[in-house]
Amino acid sequence: MQAEHRTPQTFLQNLTDLPGAMAPSAIMAGLIATLVGYSGPLLVLFEAAKAGSLTDAQLGSWILTVTIGTGICAICLSLWYRQPIMCAFSSAGAVLMVTALAQFSYAEAVGGYLVAGIACALLGLSRLFGRAIALVPKPIVSALIAGVIFRFGIGLFTDFPKEPLLIGGMVLVFFLLKRQGMRAPSIGALLAGLALVAVQGRVLLTDFHPALATPVFTAPAFSIQSMISIALPLFLLANTSQNAPGVAVLRNDGYDAPPDGPVTMTGLVTSLFALFGCHGITMSAITAAICTGKEAHPDPTKRYSAAVACGLWYALFGLFGATAVALFRAVPPALASGVAGLSLLGAVANGMTGAMSEPKQREGALVTFMLTVSGIELFKVGAPFWGLVAGVLVNALLTWRRRE
């Protein structure tokens, strides 16, 4: 798919236009994207904090910095490029820290965060990341993003046996509203799901106590072992598991923002917030797909407002740190997975359509899709990277200098 949505306005002009671009569907798309971002990855931080024996104050600072950092990056990048550039804290990196914090001191972990953030910023400034991504054929890019969000989207169906009434009701409402031409039927599905769990008395607010989080400074410590075990894996995971798919989402929906700028900014923000517990801010793939589609806004030149809304939601939730997690824990997990799955249906369809659009490149795209969906991990590098590499190699083998 060729880039279609080019908007040369300045940052201030885009900021001035924001109120007119901000539609209810964009605000809700931002909220759903934030819900998806919180529904699983943030809870991993609790496990990592437990493994590293972090204090409640350190955990609150960690949650504060990753969410505020995510919000700042999404808002600034989307206003700068006038495109829905979504950001997230590294979920794969959070999983890594569950084991790393059990082996290294918290100060060494902070040193690893700092070095990884600086490395990402330098990669963006070098423009090598953008050049590498530009070499990937478009069907491979589409297959990559379809594979990334496919694994998340099927949560809609894997949760059905456990929550048939909730999931079934949300699906029914979604497609009834879609039949009626509603631009964002996932909004109705979310409201229907909330109504169902409320009627069943399953909204548990006993652990919900609003409280502001405060940043806690930690002086970094550096060692060769922590650089190899923390900084290097965080750098690789940020770029292979999240930045590359994040660029793929944008390009699959017709946006042409140069990837080096977002990689540079997320690296810089990570570096600034690392001393307060931020393990890594990256571009987003799954939540990006929620805000780059037509359900977020019918006008593609105004969808940047959905990413700005998401950034504002992140900032709001970040201020309350662990309190936001308690709020999300108050409803069944299937509610979040159901809304996410329904919101991503269009993105999966667009990705698969793009992946199969070129007959000569279908095999490479199919390898990328299947390998990405498999979820394998080799040398502590996730499936999206290996799917990308394998698809490019298969595509090159089948198409390089092939005679008609």
Report pLDDT digits (tens) over 204-248.
766 666 677 788 999 999 988 888 888 887 887 788 778 888 888
* Residue 332 confidence (pLDDT) above 60: yes
What value does the mean pLDDT take over residues 51-63?
85
Separation between Cα atoms, residue 361 and residue 140, nearest integer Å: 8
Residue type, 207: D
Instruction: Write the Ramachandran bin of 258: left for phi over 0, alpha for psi from -120 to 50, otherwise beta.
Output: beta
DSSP assignments along 36-61, one per residue: HHHHTHHHHHHHHHHHTT--HHHHHH
DSSP-derived secondary structure for 156-225: HHHTTTT-HHHHHHHHHHHHHHHHTT-S-HHHHHHHHHHHHHHHTT----TT----------------HH
- Lowest-pLDDT range of 70-84, 232-246, 248-262, 325-339: 325-339
How sure is the predictor about 2, in pLDDT bands with cuts at 50, 70 and 90?
very low
Q: What pLDDT does 33 receive?
A: 86
- Tell me if 108 sits within 8 A of 230, measured CB to CB: yes
Does 262 score more than 50 pLDDT?
yes
Q: Under a CB-based contact definition with an 8 Å cutoff, are residues 282 and 1 in contact?
A: no
Q: Is 344 helix (H, G, I), strand (E, B) or coil?
A: coil
* Average pLDDT over every residue of 348-362: 84
Cα first-last separation, the chain: 24
pLDDT of residue 1: 41
Mean pLDDT over residues 88-117, rounded?
86
Residue 209's DSSP bridge partners are none
| CB-CB neighbours of 285 under 10 Å | 26
**Side-chain-facing half-sphere of 341: CA atoms under 13 Å:** 21
Predicted confidence at residue 184, as pLDDT, reads 65
Is the confidence at residue 22, as pLDDT, over 80? yes
Location of structure tokens 């900014």 = 265
Q: What are phi and psi of 382, to 5 degrees?
A: -75, 170
Query: 3-state DSSP: the chain helix, strand, coil percent, rounded to 5?
Result: 70, 0, 25
pLDDT single digits (tens) 369-391: 998 888 787 776 667 778 888 99
Say whether pLDDT at 263 is over 60: yes
If 0-12 CB within 10 Å is exposed, 13-18 middle and 19+ buried, where does residue 331 land? buried
Largest Cα–Cα distance of the chain, in whole Å? 69
What value does the mean pLDDT take over residues 94-100? Answer: 78
**Is the Cα torsion angle 55, 61, 67, 73 positive or negative in sign?**
negative
pTM to 2 decimals? 0.72
Q: How far apart (Å, rounded) are the C-alpha atoms in residues 11 and 314?
A: 21
17/9 Cα distance (integer angstroms): 10
Q: Cα separation of 181 and 203, whole Å?
A: 31
Grade residue 131 by pLDDT with cuts at 50, 70 and 90.
Answer: confident
Residue pair 217/275 in contact by the 8 Å Cβ criterion: yes
Residue 122, pLDDT score: 95
Q: Map residue 281 onto helix, strand or coil.
A: strand
The CA-based angle 278-115-47, given to 5 degrees, is: 35
Contacts of 156 (CB under 8 A, 6+ apart): 167, 171, 337, 338, 340, 341, 342
Question: Is the model's pLDDT at 402 over the cut of 60?
Answer: no
pLDDT of residue 91: 74
Radius of gyration of the chain (CA): 20
- How far apart CA 102 and CA 114 sit, in angstroms, is 19
Classify the C-alpha dihedral 178-304-333-187 as positive or negative: negative
pLDDT of residue 40: 58
Average pLDDT, the chain: 83
